[in-house]
């Protein structure tokens, strides 16, 4: 399926048939998710394909038993965790050195990334950095963040959401429907997946072959001119 066809075909389908989704279809979509753009290429995400029947049942409960989860043939949880910068930093440093990247790039990954992704005890380092940047910003443009753990989680969530978008478009391109769910008990999902305290559940994606009852009407969008601005 051509890209714009996949974009047009993608809908949030809330009820699926019992037709199975081939494992290779999900794997290919997960590979597409890995290729998504992300902040500083730190890849602060994890994707959990919940395949155990027992864990899937628990995840459906945590999603309040909604049809998009209950009837989904497969469920994938997209997770953001800023602490994962440590996982990617050394491979990134080795990579940029190997390809003879500019010195500024090597410095960025060796020195600036560790400084940026550390908020410190009770966010104290982050607050100090934020105050310093605020004063500097009175005179010139400066990066205003991220500073606190919450800021860092927000950055990671954006990256994880981009990966989820790649995933659902890849599923659409292969002829399968999805529903990106934000309706879930995050505490229970984190407990189920044994996630760290810094992790945030971005969304749960259900997938399968959609039914006619999966949507109650045609797609709705507000007028184009309300949201697109030429400045």
Domains of the chain: residue spans and CATH: 3-83+150-227 (3.40.109.10), 85-148 (no CATH)
pLDDT value for 182: 96
What is the phi/psi pair of residue 206, to 5°? -95, 150
pLDDT value for 35: 98
CB 16 within 8 A of CB 215: no
Kindly report, residue by residue over 4-62, the tens digit of the pLDDT. Answer: 999 999 999 999 999 999 999 999 999 999 999 999 999 999 999 999 999 999 999 99
Please give the share of the chain, as a percent, with pLDDT higher than 90: 90
pLDDT value for 51: 98
Kindly report, residue by residue over 89-135, the tens digit of the pLDDT. Answer: 999 999 999 999 999 999 999 999 999 998 888 888 889 889 999 98
Identify each DSSP E strand in 61-194 by its residue range.
74-80, 177-181
Q: What is the mean pLDDT of the chain?
A: 96
pLDDT value for 121: 87
pLDDT value for 228: 98
Identify each DSSP E strand in the chain by its residue range.
45-50, 74-80, 177-181, 200-208
pTM across the whole model:
0.94
Q: Which of 137, 147, 164 is nearest to 47 (CA)?
A: 164
């Amino acid at each position: 399926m051509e890209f714009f066809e996949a974009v047009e075909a993608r809908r949030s389908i809330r009820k699926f048939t019992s037709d199975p989704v081939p494992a290779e279809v999900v794997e290919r979509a997960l590979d597409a998710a890995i290729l998504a753009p992300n902040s500083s290429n730190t890849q602060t995400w994890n994707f959990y394909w919940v395949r155990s029947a027992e864990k899937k049942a628990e995840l459906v409960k945590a999603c309040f038993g909604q049809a998009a989860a209950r009837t989904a043939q497969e469920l994938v949880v997209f997770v953001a965790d800023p602490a994962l910068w440590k996982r990617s930093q050394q491979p990134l440093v080795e990579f940029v050195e190997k390809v003879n990247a500019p010195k500024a790039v090597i410095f960025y990954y060796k020195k600036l990334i560790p400084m940026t992704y550390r908020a410190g005890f009770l966010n104290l380092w982050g607050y100090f950095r934020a105050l310093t940047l605020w004063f500097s910003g009175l005179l010139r443009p400066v990066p205003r963040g991220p500073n606190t753990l919450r800021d860092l989680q927000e950055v990671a969530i954006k990256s994880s959401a981009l990966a989820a978008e790649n995933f659902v478009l890849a599923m659409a391109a292969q002829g399968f429907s999805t529903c990106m769910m934000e309706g879930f008990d995050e505490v229970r999902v984190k407990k189920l997946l044994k996630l760290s305290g810094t992790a945030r559940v971005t969304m749960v994606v259900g997938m399968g072959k959609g039914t006619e009852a999966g949507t109650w009407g045609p797609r709705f969008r507000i007028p184009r001119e309300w949201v697109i601005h030429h400045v």
